[in-house]
């Protein structure tokens, strides 16, 4: 575990002008166990709007585990490729829900899908997506990478690199990365900063190994914070709050 002075860490956070917010599908279902919880979706949309009002350009990747998870389907005997495509479709549903919530509060958005479905989303074209960000629209990337066997964590890291984001903000249920599960172990210790190599070697579970390796190879920091903390996303960009920075 490594640490740096809090003021220095906050100074770095405040410089970010374009970021990618990665959240799981489970984050949209609250405590109901399945599907979408509209008040939760609206709360997250308000968080995104508050950060955009700071002048930060934002893109998003949302998982689909609240509706369907490809690995779970595969584990129950479904053919893996089919199961993964079903998971990609679940992410499109979540992206549309987030788009509706954001536009309901005056934030212009584009849902951009890696699988063509022109009636509900734009196809992924990198230069067009960059232009949307420059015009202060929130880009919500859906359908993962468009390929089976890749998680939305990997999709988030890929898109963040392609969009020239300065960091990935990973919203979770806890306020950072711990040496073990804080919900199971009262003596779990939170890291202020941790290296990509330590995340991989210690299997800290920030993102899957492919996503961590891709972020490491492109020197893209990952900020892990609690999405359940009201104002947490904006607070970190304003130099406040609790989080873990994963970097080289």
Nearest to 167 by CA among 52, 49, 15, 4: 15
**Residue 146 labeled ligand binder:** yes
**Residue 69 labeled ligand binder:** yes
**Residue 172 labeled ligand binder:** yes
Local structure of 144: helix, strand or coil: coil
**Residue 192 labeled ligand binder:** no
Sign of CA dihedral 97, 211, 181, 246: negative
Q: 171, 22 in Cβ contact below 8 A?
A: yes
**Residue 147 labeled ligand binder:** yes
120-146 exposure pattern, b = at least 16 Cβ within 10 A, e = fewer: ebbebeeeebbebbeeebbbbbbbbbb
**Residue 151 labeled ligand binder:** yes
Nearest to 81 by CA among 128, 147, 151: 147
Local structure of 87: helix, strand or coil: helix
**Residue 226 labeled ligand binder:** no
**Residue 22 labeled ligand binder:** yes
**Residue 180 labeled ligand binder:** no
Local structure of 113: helix, strand or coil: strand
**Residue 178 labeled ligand binder:** yes
**Residue 219 labeled ligand binder:** no
Q: 13, 237 in Cβ contact below 8 A?
A: yes
**Residue 242 labeled ligand binder:** no
**Residue 181 labeled ligand binder:** yes
Residues annotated within a binding site for ATP: 22-25, 65, 69, 172, 178, 181
Residues annotated within a binding site for UMP: 64, 84, 145-152
Residues annotated within a binding site: 22-25, 64-65, 69, 84, 145-152, 172, 178, 181
């Amino acid at each position: 575990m490594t640490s740096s002075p809090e003021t220095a860490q906050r100074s770095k956070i405040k410089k970010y002008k374009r970021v990618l917010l990665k959240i799981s599908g489970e984050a949209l279902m609250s405590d109901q166990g399945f599907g979408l919880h509209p008040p939760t979706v609206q709360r997250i949309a308000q968080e995104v709007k508050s950060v955009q009002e700071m002048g930060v350009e934002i893109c998003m990747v949302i998982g689909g585990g609240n509706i369907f998870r490809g690995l779970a389907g595969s584990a129950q005997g479904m053919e893996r490729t089919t199961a993964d495509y079903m998971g990609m479709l679940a992410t499109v549903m979540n992206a549309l829900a987030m788009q509706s919530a954001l536009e309901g509060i005056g934030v212009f958005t584009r849902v951009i899908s890696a699988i063509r479905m022109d009636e509900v989303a734009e196809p992924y074209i990198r230069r067009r997506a960059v232009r949307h960000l420059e015009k202060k629209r929130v880009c919500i990337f859906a359908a993962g990478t468009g390929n089976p066997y890749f998680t939305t964590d990997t999709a988030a890291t890929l898109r963040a690199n392609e969009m020239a984001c300065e960091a990935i903000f990973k919203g979770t249920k806890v306020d950072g990365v711990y040496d073990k599960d804080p919900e199971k172990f009262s003596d779990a210790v939170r890291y202020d900063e941790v290296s990509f190599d330590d995340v991989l070697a210690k299997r800290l579970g920030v993102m899957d190994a492919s996503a961590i390796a891709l972020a490491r190879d492109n020197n893209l920091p990952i900020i892990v914070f609690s999405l359940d903390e009201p104002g947490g996303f904006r607070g970190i960009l304003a130099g406040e709050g609790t989080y873990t920075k994963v970097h080289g």
